[in-house]
Structure 1
Amino acid sequence: MPLPPEPPSGGPRRVSTPPGPFLTRREELAARRAELREIARRRRRRGLFVLLAALVLLGAVFGGGAYLVGSAFFTDDFDGEGQGDAVVRVLDGDSTRQIGTMLARRGVVASPEAFTEAAAEEKKVLGIQPGYYQMRLQMSGEAAVAAMIDPSSRVGRLEIRGGTQLDDTRSPDGTVAPGVISLISQASCARIDGQRRCVSPEELRQVMATADPASLGVPQWAVEDVARAEPNRRFEGLIVPGLYDVAPGTSATDVWKSLFAVSVAQLEASGLTSDASHDGLATYELLVLASLAEKEAITPDMGKVARVITNRLDINQRLELDSTVNYPLDLQALRTTAEARGTAGPYNSYQNTGLPPTPIAAPGKDAIAAALAPEAGPWTFFVRCQKDGTSCFATSLAEHQANVGQAVRNGAF
C-alpha cells in the first residue's frame, strides 16, 4: 500500500515504524520489564558508588577524629628508666612545661606532655632548682620526674664557704678539709658516655698558673697583683663564698671563666670595685684585708679586727697573725709553732711588715664589709678570749697580756 503524502512544510511530521516484524503484547511486556530491570540495575550501581564515596569521606572524617582523640588521650612516652647518659640544665625561672620541653629536646623524654603529666602528680617538682642534673635518655615521664626530684641527680653544684682556702687544709687532729680547687673538681664530675668524668685538680692548677688572668675574667683591679703572685696561689680569695653551678664536661679554662663571671659580680656588688679604697689601701689590698678578718674573727668582731690591722699598718707595725703563718703550711690552727714563726717567707707576718702578697682565704660579705668600713677604735692588739671565738681588744701590750691570761683561763686556746 502506498505511503501517505508528506504534509505541508512546517506541519507535524508522522514517522512510521521501519518495516519489520511486529511484537506481540507479551513480547512488549517482556521488553518493558527488561528495560525497567536495567534502569534499576544502573540506579543501584550509582547508589553503590555514592555509598562508597560517602564511606570514604566518613572514614577520612572518622580517622581524623580518631587521630585527634588519640592525640588528646594518648601521650607519646617511653617505657622504663631509660638508657645512656644525659646531663641537662634547668634555668632560673623555668616552668614545669619549659623543663619538659627541654627534656624532650634532649631526648630524655618522648614529649613534653610525658613529663608534665607525670609532674602533675608530684608536688616536689615545684622545688626543682636551677642547675645541672644527671639523667638518662629515653626515660618514661614518670622516671624523669623521679630523677629530677632526687637530690642525688643534682650535679655541678659547688658551695664555697667563708674561710676556705684554695688548697686542702688539715687540722691538728689530722682532719683534712677540701680546698676550693678540690671542691671545684668534685663539682665538675658527671657520668658522660658511661664513664665518670671530672676536671682534675691538676688541670685547674695548670690553667691557674699559666693562663692570662684577664682572659679568664679576673677583675682589672686584681690583674697586676695576680700576675706577680706565686702561680699556685694567684687565685686565692677571688672565688668568694656562695653557691655556683659548674657545667660537667667542660674544660678547666671554661670552668674558671664561669666561676669568675659569678664571683666578680658578687665582689663588685659587695663594694670591691676599681675605685674602692680605704685607709690608703687599693681594691686588691682591701680583698687581702677582708681575708684576714675572715680567718681571724667571728662575724661580730670582724670590724674591730680589721681596725687593729689598719692601725698596725698605719704605724708600720708587724701584724703578727698566726693565720698568715699557717697559710702556706695549709694548716687550720689557732696557734703557730716557734719553728713556723721563725721560718722566712712572704706570708710570715711575724717577720714582715705590711699585708701578705695575696688573700689567705675566701672572704665573705661580712668580712668584705669590715674591710671597707672598719669599726672606729684605737686598738692595736686582739686575742681570741672566749670559747665561742669572741676576741678581746687592747690598746697596750700590758692590757693585751692581761687578755691573753684571761683567754688561757677561759680555755679559749
Structure 2
Amino acid sequence: MRQVAPAAATAGDEPPDGPVEPPRHRAGGREPSRGRGRRTGVFVLAVLVLLGAVVGGGAYVYNAYFVTPDFEGEGHGEVTIQVEQGDSGTKIGNELVQRGVIASVEAFVKASENDSRVRSVQPGYYQLRQEMSAASAVALLLDPAARVGQLEIRGGVQLDDTRAPDGTVAPGVLTLISQATCGKHDGVEQCLSADELRTAMTDTDPAALGVPEWALDAVNAADPKRRLEGLLVPGRYDVPPNTPAVDVLRGLLTTSAARLAASGLVTGAQQIGSSPYEVLTLASLVEKEGITPDMPKVSRVIYNRLGAGRRLELDSMVNYPLDLQALRTTPEDRARPGPYNSYAVTGLPPTPISAPGQAAIEAALAPEPGPWFYFVRCQADGTSCFAETYAQHTENVRAAQASGAF
C-alpha cells in the first residue's frame, strides 16, 4: 500500500512537546544591547582627543617651521657690529644673529624688504642693542646716530690742534681720532683722549704701531711728539669704539700705509731717485702752501731752492711747531731757532708738517717745469703768483697787498 506522509500542522494543531520560548517583539526592529551606547561615547571622545592632538601638533609644527623667529621690542644694552664693504643683507643678518642682536636672519631679510636703503648701508661700525626685533634693528642701522667710529682727515691737518690769529682752534688729527673713538659701554659714553693717543704714539715702538718700513728710520729719529706727522693721509677711516689706543693707531696706520702705496708714493720716489719719506715731507709743504691748481708750481719752487742750496723760507714751516695757522710769520717767530725754521736752516724739515693729499703727492713726484724761485698768494681765492727773481717777487707782493689778498 502506498503510504501517505502526515500533513503539516496547522494553527489548530497541538504544539510540539517541550517548552516553547515566547517570541520577542519591539517596535521598529530588534531591541538594542545595553553596552552599545557606552562604547559609542568612548569612541567619540577618543576621536575628539585625537583631533585635538593633531591640531595642537600641527600648530606646533607650523610655528616651528613657518613662523619666523623674532624678538620683540627695542632691545637692551649695547652691541657694536661692523659692516664691511660689499656685505649683503644676509651677511649682515648673520652677524647680527651671532652677536645676539636679532633672533633670525630670515626676520632681518623680511624686515629689510620694506626699506631698500638697507642695501646701501655704508661700511663702518654701528652700535645696536641685544635682542631687538628685526624691524627695530633695520631702523637703527639706518639711523645716523647709530653710526660710530667715523674719522675724516682733510689735507693740511696737523697732528696737534692749531689756532688761527683770531683765536679760532681747529682740531688736529689726534683730536679727530679721539672724537671718533667715542662709543657707549654699559650705558656710558667713553672716548680715548688725545693725550692717551699721544702717549701711545710716543711710548710705542713705531714698527709695532704699523709705521711702514720705508719710514721707520726717519720716524725713529724724529721727535716722538711729531713722529707720526704726515703718515695718516687724508681720507675717511673707520675706528672701532672701546679699543685700546695702540690698537687704534695701528689700525689707522695700516690703512694709511696701504693708501700711500696705492698713491704711487713708494714707486714714484724710487723713479726720481728719492726716498718715499722725503717725497712725503715735500708733499706736506706743497699741501700747506698752495691750492690744488698751483701745487705743481709750488713743488717746482721747492725743488729749485733745494737744488740751489737756498733756504726754503716757507712761513708754514715756521708756524708748524707753534701750532699756528697763518699766512705770514712775525719777525720774532722767524728768529726762533729750530729745525723747522726755514729762514734759518736749509733743506727739508725733519718730518712732514701736515697730512698731504693725493694732489700734493703727485705734485711732489712730478713738479711742473719752470725757473721759479718765489711765490706769493696774490688773489683772494688762494691763487699764487710765481717769480724767477726777487725783484719780480717784490712786485707780486706789492700787488697782492694792494688787492687785499693778504
TM-score normalised over the length of structure 2: 0.87
Q: Does 2:368 match 1:375?
A: yes
Partner of 2:332: 339
Specify the code of the residue in structure 1 equivalent to 2:114: E
Q: Distance in 2 between matches of 1:192 and 1:24?
A: 103
Q: How far did 1:142 drift?
A: 2.4
Q: Distance in 2 between matches of 1:79 and 1:200?
A: 37
Contact 2:268 2:365 in 1 (8 A): no
Q: Does 2:160 match 1:167?
A: yes
Q: How far did 1:73 drift?
A: 5.8
Q: How far did 1:395 drift?
A: 0.8
Partner of 2:134: 141
Specify the code of the residue in structure 2 equivalent to 1:314: G
Task: Write the deviation string for residues 274-304 of structure 1: whole angstroms up to 9, x where unpaired.
Answer: 7724665321000000000000000011111
Runs of at least 5 residues in structure 1 that lack an aligned partner in the other structure: 1-21, 28-32
**Which secondary structure does the structure 2 equivalent of 1:358 belong to?**
coil
Pairwise mapping of residues 257-276 of structure 1 onto structure 2 (< 5 A)? 257-273=250-266, 276=269
Q: How far did 1:83 drift?
A: 1.6
**Which secondary structure does the structure 2 equivalent of 1:86 belong to?**
strand
Match among 124, 132, 145 for residue 131 of structure 1: 124
Q: Distance in 2 between matches of 1:150 and 1:256?
A: 27
Partner of 2:185: 192
Pairwise mapping of residues 50-65 of structure 1 onto structure 2 (< 5 A)? 52=46, 62-65=55-58
Cα gap change, 1:269/1:385 in structure 2, threshold over 3 Å: closer, same or farther?
A: same
**Which secondary structure does the structure 2 equivalent of 1:276 belong to?**
helix
Q: How far did 1:159 drift?
A: 0.4
**Which secondary structure does the structure 2 equivalent of 1:162 belong to?**
coil
Contact 2:118 2:138 in 1 (8 A): yes
Please say which of residues 261-270 and 190-199 is displaced more in the overlay.
190-199
Cα gap change, 1:38/1:293 in structure 2, threshold over 3 Å: closer, same or farther?
A: same
Please say which of residues 79-88 and 178-187 is displaced more in the overlay.
79-88
Q: Does 2:205 match 1:212?
A: yes
Q: How far did 1:72 drift?
A: 6.3
Contact 1:78 1:141 in 2 (8 A): yes
Q: Distance in 2 between matches of 1:252 and 1:282?
A: 29
Q: Does 2:343 match 1:350?
A: yes
Cα gap change, 1:379/1:398 in structure 2, threshold over 3 Å: closer, same or farther?
A: same
**Which secondary structure does the structure 2 equivalent of 1:356 belong to?**
coil
Pairwise mapping of residues 218-257 of structure 1 onto structure 2 (< 5 A)? 218-257=211-250
**Which secondary structure does the structure 1 equivalent of 2:324 belong to?**
coil
Partner of 1:410: 403
Partner of 1:13: none
Pairwise mapping of residues 92-107 of structure 1 onto structure 2 (< 5 A)? 92-107=85-100
Match among 90, 108, 132 for residue 115 of structure 1: 108
Q: How far did 1:112 drift?
A: 2.4
Q: How far did 1:198 drift?
A: 1.5
Q: How far did 1:102 drift?
A: 1.7
Contact 1:221 1:274 in 2 (8 A): no
Q: How far did 1:401 drift?
A: 0.8
TM-score normalised over the length of structure 1: 0.85
Partner of 2:5: none
Specify the code of the residue in structure 1 equivalent to 2:74: E
Cα gap change, 1:56/1:282 in structure 2, threshold over 3 Å: closer, same or farther?
A: same
Contact 2:151 2:180 in 1 (8 A): yes
Specify the code of the residue in structure 1 equivalent to 2:178: S
Pairwise mapping of residues 9-88 of structure 1 onto structure 2 (< 5 A)? 52=46, 62-71=55-64, 74-88=67-81
Contact 2:272 2:365 in 1 (8 A): no
**Which secondary structure does the structure 1 equivalent of 2:313 belong to?**
coil
Q: Does 2:378 match 1:385?
A: yes
Q: Distance in 2 between matches of 1:299 and 1:275?
A: 19
Contact 2:313 2:343 in 1 (8 A): yes
Q: How far did 1:58 drift?
A: 6.1
Cα gap change, 1:385/1:261 in structure 2, threshold over 3 Å: closer, same or farther?
A: same
Please say which of residues 88-97 and 152-161 is displaced more in the overlay.
88-97
**Which secondary structure does the structure 1 equivalent of 2:310 belong to?**
coil
Please say which of residues 57-66 and 320-329 is displaced more in the overlay.
57-66
Specify the code of the residue in structure 1 equivalent to 2:300: R
Cα gap change, 1:373/1:274 in structure 2, threshold over 3 Å: closer, same or farther?
A: closer
Task: Write the deviation string for residues 2-38 of structure 1: whole angstroms up to 9, x where unpaired.
Answer: xxxxxxxxxxxxxxxxxxxx997579xxxxx99x969
Contact 2:313 2:342 in 1 (8 A): yes
Match among 312, 329, 334 for residue 322 of structure 2: 329
Q: Distance in 2 between matches of 1:312 and 1:23?
A: 151
Q: Percent identity among equivalent residues?
A: 59
Specify the code of the residue in structure 2 equivalent to 1:86: V
Q: How far did 1:204 drift?
A: 1.1
| Cα RMSD for the two superposed structures | 2.7
Specify the code of the residue in structure 2 equivalent to 1:335: R
Q: Distance in 2 between matches of 1:185 and 1:49?
A: 77
Match among 265, 268, 278 for residue 285 of structure 1: 278
Specify the code of the residue in structure 1 equivalent to 2:191: C
Runs of at least 5 residues in structure 2 that lack an aligned partner in the other structure: 1-17, 24-29
Q: How far did 1:76 drift?
A: 2.7
Cα gap change, 1:410/1:338 in structure 2, threshold over 3 Å: closer, same or farther?
A: same
**Which secondary structure does the structure 2 equivalent of 1:248 belong to?**
coil
Partner of 2:7: none
Task: Write the deviation string for residues 97-143 of structure 1: whole angstroms up to 9, x where unpaired.
Answer: 22222222212223223333322222332331111112122222222
Q: How far did 1:96 drift?
A: 2.0
Contact 1:220 1:274 in 2 (8 A): no
Q: How far did 1:94 drift?
A: 1.5
Partner of 2:27: none
